Amino acid sequence: MSDKPASPASPEKNENSNPASDFIREAVAADLASGKTKEVRTRFPPEPNGWLHIGHTKAFLIDFGVAADFGGKCNLRFDDTNPEKEDMSYVEAIKRDIAWLGCDWEDREFYASDYYERLYELAVKLIRKGVAYVDDLSAEQMSEYRGTAVADKSNITVTPPGRNSPWRDRSVEENLDLFARMRAGEFPDGSKTLRAKIDMAHPNLLMRDPPMYRIRREPHYRTGTTWCIYPMYDFQHPLSDAIEGVTHSLCSLEYEIHRPLYDWFIREAEVFPSRQIEFARLSITHFVLSKRWLLRLVQEGRVAGWDDPRMPTLSGLRRRGYSPEAIRDFISRIGVAKTDSMVDVQFLEHCLREDLNKRANRVMAVLRPLKLVVENWPAGKVEQLEAVNNPEDPAAGTRKVPFSGTLYIERDDFMETPPPKYFRLFPGNSVRLRYGYIVTCTGFSKDPASGEVTEVRCSYDPATRGGDAPDNRKVKGTIHWVDAPSAVKLEARLYDHLFEAERPMDVPEGKDWVETINPKSLETVAGALGEPGLAAAKPGDRFQFERLGYFCADNDSAPGALVFNRTVSLRDTWAKIEKKGG
């Protein structure tokens, strides 16, 4: 299994890169053809202990997509069996994100907590069959008895047999009594555990009498204090699938080792035979994709919350300006694989640029304004210049942009002493003003104290409206601008990767991964200006700021206090590499 990022020409190398013909769909098709499956039913089973990140997107788009492709249905089921970590706010956030990506579960919203009584009955059934028992070992003792994998003299990993618990051979009657008393709350937390009786010598450690129930006096966000025992994931999950009639339980590759246990519980409980199929999870360079790790960033205040635009959560990506179409396209194009690999974040950004290029209207804004005065402009005159909203979408039409002769340009678009091949403004040089006129720099002013340029002066040629020179003179530079009297004030938040390292978790021994956060992952530019039409922008509206990148109006925006997040720059390294490499 390779741990290297996939090459740019192939974001996730595998022979099944077309989602329409991947190995999962082949398996489902075979089950239908053989008659094993009559109607396809899948499920997306998030635990409500955090917000969804883009890695979950791959999972639920596969879950919902496979069901849709075969005319079946996909359930949304919350696996809520860890009450100390779960919350209804997480449930609402998860539903909001799934709906934003375009998935519809209609009346198929379920909760593992809905099945607590049924799961308890199935546990009793297993006790009666003699394949489950109540154990008095502590969690630490249980782990010790089960043993660990070790390397032998040839450096081959082996798993020596574990030891049976002293309470493994309790009678069925005693186990039934103890389990009922566990439910009734007679025993302290952690003092007893219901375990499956499988094989303490099994090479798969998960099969060595895994726990099924533990005592935990923790109020549940849905069931309150009704229960003081809670089912373990490996017991609950296959049986919840069976209760719902899930035909294909699709999950990420780390659950492959759990599959024998999944099948064992279904077989011994004599329930609907759900089938588990695993696929490679999504890993992206510069991203941390784990709810547990992301929760730490939130709790320690290293980000502004789950929806911080630097976070890989769907809410963070949405707030930053990602479109659901771009994310779906990205997931579709990386395909479904059987082995783990790393996708370059540049490919995600490439898919994003492709989508926003089609849907984002163009506007002009300057991040670091420098005043430009057109000296020969008629006093008091204001022209309305016509600007194209989106050259990729003729239906988007045009807009009027005011031009008064006093403008703001980007500070980087003027240099007193330019380097070679600098085609923007400098004394004596001419440039095109986007949608406007050709102007020639005639002078500039400086602040005596700081030496900073405060104003640039120029003259315009009235015959060049629209930027065309009737005498065919060569003007190499075109710059954007905003009209000074009508400009609206903006705060621009310029985001970069939260982690500079491609693999944030791969840190030297003794170093904490959270310490590798990119200190330049956010730059706030308070004095930006935009054309007047931006005043009507609502949170979530996306634009291309010409020459600067794609931006999205942030939730913090308010009338007269606009905030825009830079979604992604215009530079597309991925496309250049892909073109160069064929």
Backbone angles phi, psi at 207, to 5 degrees: -90, 0
Report pLDDT for 469. 75
Annotated active-site residue 146? The verdict is: no
Report pLDDT for 549. 97
What angle (nearest 5°) sits at the alpha carbon of residue 71, between those of residues 69 and 74?
A: 85
Report pLDDT for 3. 35
- Residues whose CB is less than 8 angstroms from the CB of residue 56 and which lie 6 or more positions away in sequence, other chains included: 46, 314
The answer to whether residues 524 and 506 touch, using CB atoms and an 8 Å cutoff, is no
Report pLDDT for 11. 39
Regions of the chain where pLDDT drops below 50? 1-20, 582
Which one of 58, 192, 222, 281 is the catalytic residue? Answer: 281
Report pLDDT for 471. 73
Distance separating alpha carbons of residues 245 and 64, to the nearest angstrom: 15
Report pLDDT for 305. 96
Q: What is the DSSP letter of 121?
A: H
Backbone angles phi, psi at 356, to 5 degrees: -65, -30
Report pLDDT for 12. 40
Report pLDDT for 304. 95
Report pLDDT for 2. 35
Report pLDDT for 383. 96
Going 175 to 181 to 186 to 187, the CA torsion angle's sign is positive
Annotated active-site residue 281? The verdict is: yes
Which one of 146, 259, 291, 362 is the catalytic residue? Answer: 291
Report pLDDT for 374. 97
Report pLDDT for 161. 93
Annotated active-site residue 371? The verdict is: no
Q: What is the DSSP letter of 505?
A: T
Report pLDDT for 466. 82
What domains can you pick out in the chain, each with its CATH number?
19-279 (3.40.50.620), 365-480 (2.40.240.10)
Which one of 47, 174, 354, 578 is the catalytic residue? Answer: 47
